[in-house]
């Protein structure tokens, strides 16, 4: 996996006093019980160069957490006893911490939020944290672990509401349905394995973005490129990984990417407007192979909008290719198409005055390379409308719920039946 190879090198890289690499401040926050535990497990996996924080309303759980940066949230609201699955209480606790959160976010360029959405704390904390991060001008990427179907309708609905709310304030949200994770492992897998599986996806995504930003690649990507891929919150996120070895590693990696379970769950977009592709490969990857690979990825996942390609060469990786695809679509948020068009036009025409968050606007315009004019961005929007019907058969139809279960979602998926391929 790329992050393992990456960590050794990154550790040697110069770091600032808070542990992050010079130039880009990356922070990861584990929010709520599940998020905190995930962050703690991630700390063991060599995510060097990333400052890890834990935020929880439960002081007892927090005291057992091994992370360096720990924050007790909403002490005045829950008296450090947790929110007990009550989202209202969680909401109040999170609001009470808004000022503090803004302080923790100050100076961050990229913020990862990791949380579980079935309970009462994770959702509200993540939302407030995302808002604080946005205020600090950081790019915010959320990882939301969704509860199992068998955990009941109430928790699922709570999680879906929280996910929708989180999408509104994060640059991108990657939902990790526990159903899917279980899917991958089989019905008799121990709980810890399921959790590890979700960690694995988070590590791969976080590691890949860290690599994009911190490691010199053949084709370099910087924070500005990353931000342009996620121009506006609210849409569905596309996230997929593939790795290939053997005689034709690029082809194999692409096939593996197409099989990535993250790309085949109902919560995910299958095509995106804006795409970030990061390829890590051994020195034997020819440039035209890379080109071909990027072409195929663009064709498959959409390149109507912005398309950013990064490539890093790993010396020890002869005959091996890894791909990470991250994408964002403009659909799905509360905003209408014309709304988005206006804001897209505004963001490229009027620098700071019409933006909701001046700091962020300043950062963005200072990164310079705004290549898209207003005409082009409206074309992108148009191009997107045409592709919506390719997104899964039932994506556009009304929801189909019977006794709390969405019947359009595959049955095997809801029942956690393992499908081996």
Partner 1 sequence: MIGKSKIIAGVEIGTAKVAVLVGEVRNASSLNIIGFGESSSRGVMKGAIFDFKQAGEATHAAIHAAEKQAGAHIEGVYLAQAGAHIEGFYNEASVSVSAATNLVGADDIRRVCENAKAKSLPEDRTVIHHIRRPFRLDGRTVPDPEYLEGGKLEVGYWIVHGSVREVGNSIRVINGFSLHVDDLILSSLASGVMVAGRGEMRNGVLVIDIGCGSTDFAFYRDGYVVRTGTLPVGGDHFTNDLSLGLRVTRSQAESLKVNAGKAILDPEDKGKKVWLSGDLSIGDRQIPRESMNKIAHARARELFELVKKKLGENFTPEKAAAGVILTGGGARLSGMASVAEDVLGIAARVGENPSWVTDELRGIEYSTVLGLLNYGLKTENDRGSSGEKEKTGGLLRRMTRIFDRTS
Question: Minimum distance from CB of 186 to partner 1 (Å)?
Answer: 12
Q: Are strands 320-328 and 274-281 parallel, antiparallel or unpaired?
A: antiparallel
Question: Minimum distance from CB of 165 to partner 1 (Å)?
Answer: 26
Q: Which of residues 236-255 bind partner 1 (CB under 8 A)?
A: 255
Query: Looking at 98, 232, 264, 391, which residue binds partner 1 (CB under 8 A)?
Result: 264
Question: Minimum distance from CB of 269 to partner 1 (Å)?
Answer: 14
Which of these segments, 34-42, 221-229, 335-343, 386-394, binds partner 1 (CB under 8 A)? Answer: 386-394
Asked if residue 287 binds partner 1 (CB under 8 A), the reply is no
Site string for partner 1, 313-352 (x = CB under 8 A): ----------------------------------------
Question: Minimum distance from CB of 268 to partner 1 (Å)?
Answer: 10
CB 219 within 8 A of CB 309: yes
Query: Looking at 259, 286, 287, 352, which residue binds partner 1 (CB under 8 A)?
Result: 259
Which of these segments, 206-214, 330-338, 346-354, 390-398, binds partner 1 (CB under 8 A)? Answer: 390-398
CB 113 within 8 A of CB 142: yes
Asked if residue 22 binds partner 1 (CB under 8 A), the reply is no
3-state per-residue secondary structure call for the chain = CHHHHHHHHHHHCCECCCCCECCCCEEEEEEHHHHHHHHHHHHCCCCCCCEEEEEECEHHHHHCCCCCEEEECCHHHHCCECCCCCHHHHHHHHHHCHHHHHHHHCCCCEEEEEEECCCCCHHHHHHHHHHHHHHCCCEEEEEEEECCHHHCHHHHHHHHHHHHHHHHHCCEEEEEEHHHHHHHHCCCCCHHHHHHHHHHHHHHHHHHHHHHHHCCCCECCCHHHHHHHCCCCCCCEEEEEEEEECCCHHHHHHHHHHCCHHHHCCCCCCCCCEEEEEEEECCCCCHHHHHHHHHHHHHHHCCCCCEEEEEEECCCCCCEEEEEEEEECCCCCCCCHHHHHHHHHHHHHCCCCCCCCHHHHHHHHHCCCCCCCHHHHHHHHHHHHHHHHHCCCCCCCCCCEECCEECCCCHHHHHCCCCCC
Asked if residue 104 binds partner 1 (CB under 8 A), the reply is no
Question: Minimum distance from CB of 247 to partner 1 (Å)?
Answer: 14
Q: Which residue, 271 or 364, has its beta carbon nearer to partner 1?
A: 271
Asked if residue 412 binds partner 1 (CB under 8 A), the reply is yes
Query: Looking at 121, 265, 329, 335, which residue binds partner 1 (CB under 8 A)?
Result: 265
Which of these segments, 63-71, 166-174, 331-339, 389-397, binds partner 1 (CB under 8 A)? Answer: 389-397
Asked if residue 299 binds partner 1 (CB under 8 A), the reply is no
Question: Minimum distance from CB of 159 to partner 1 (Å)?
Answer: 20
Residue 57 phi/psi, 5° resolution?
Answer: -95, -10
Asked if residue 296 binds partner 1 (CB under 8 A), the reply is no
Please give the Cα distance from 171 to 137 (Å, whole number).
11
CB atoms within 10 A of CB 401: 13
Query: Looking at 241, 301, 307, 413, which residue binds partner 1 (CB under 8 A)?
Result: 413
Ramachandran region, residue 201 (left: φ > 0; alpha: ψ -120 to 50; beta: rest)? alpha
Query: Looking at 282, 298, 319, 410, which residue binds partner 1 (CB under 8 A)?
Result: 410
Q: Which residue, 89 or 269, has its beta carbon nearer to partner 1?
A: 269
Asked if residue 402 binds partner 1 (CB under 8 A), the reply is yes
Asked if residue 188 binds partner 1 (CB under 8 A), the reply is no
Question: Minimum distance from CB of 417 to partner 1 (Å)?
Answer: 6
Question: Minimum distance from CB of 97 to partner 1 (Å)?
Answer: 39
Query: Looking at 13, 258, 337, 345, which residue binds partner 1 (CB under 8 A)?
Result: 258
Asked if residue 189 binds partner 1 (CB under 8 A), the reply is no
Question: Minimum distance from CB of 209 to partner 1 (Å)?
Answer: 25
Residue ranges that bind partner 1, judged by CB under 8 A:
255, 258-259, 261, 263-266, 392-394, 396-397, 400, 402-403, 407-408, 410-413, 415, 417-421
């Amino acid at each position: 996996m790329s992050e393992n190879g990456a960590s050794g090198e990154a550790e040697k890289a110069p770091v600032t006093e808070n542990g992050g690499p010079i130039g880009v401040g990356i922070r990861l926050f584990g929010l709520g019980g599940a998020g905190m535990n995930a962050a703690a497990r991630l700390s063991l996996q060599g995510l060097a160069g990333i400052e890890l924080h834990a935020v929880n309303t439960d002081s007892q759980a927090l005291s057992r957490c091994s992370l360096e940066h720990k924050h007790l949230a909403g002490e005045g609201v829950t008296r450090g006893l947790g929110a007990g699955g009550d989202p209202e209480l969680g909401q109040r606790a999170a609001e009470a911490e808004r000022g503090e959160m803004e302080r923790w976010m100050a100076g961050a360029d990229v913020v990862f939020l990791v949380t579980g959405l079935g309970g009462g704390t994770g959702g509200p904390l993540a939302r407030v944290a995302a808002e604080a991060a946005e205020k600090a001008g950081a790019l915010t990427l959320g990882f939301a672990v969704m509860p199992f179907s068998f955990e009941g309708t109430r928790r699922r609905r709570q999680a879906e509401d929280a996910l929708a709310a989180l999408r509104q304030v994060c640059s991108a949200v990657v939902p990790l349905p526990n159903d899917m994770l279980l899917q991958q492992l089989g019905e008799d897998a121990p709980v810890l394995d399921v959790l590890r599986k979700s960690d694995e996806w988070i590590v791969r995504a976080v590691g890949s973005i860290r690599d994009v930003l911190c490691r010199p690649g053949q084709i370099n990507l910087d924070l500005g490129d990353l931000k342009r891929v996620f121009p506006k919150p609210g849409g569905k996120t596309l996230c997929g990984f593939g790795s290939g070895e053997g005689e034709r590693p690029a082809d194999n990696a692409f096939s593996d990417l197409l099989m990535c379970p993250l790309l085949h769950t109902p919560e995910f977009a299958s095509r995106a407007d804006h795409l970030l592709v990061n390829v890590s490969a051994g020195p034997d990857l020819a440039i035209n192979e890379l080109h071909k690979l990027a072409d195929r990825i663009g064709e498959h996942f959409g390149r109507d909008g912005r398309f950013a390609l990064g490539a890093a060469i790993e010396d020890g990786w002869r005959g091996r290719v890894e791909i990470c695809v991250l994408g964002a679509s403009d659909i799905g948020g509360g905003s209408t198409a014309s709304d988005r068009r206006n804001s897209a036009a505004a963001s490229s025409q009027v620098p700071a005055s019409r933006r909701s968050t001046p700091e962020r606007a300043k950062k963005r315009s200072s990164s310079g390379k705004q290549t898209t004019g207003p005409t082009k961005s409206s074309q992108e929007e148009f191009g997107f409308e045409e592709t919506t019907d390719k997104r899964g058969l039932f994506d556009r139809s009304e929801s189909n719920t019977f006794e709390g279960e969405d019947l359009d979602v595959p049955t095997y998926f809801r029942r956690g039946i393992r499908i081996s391929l």
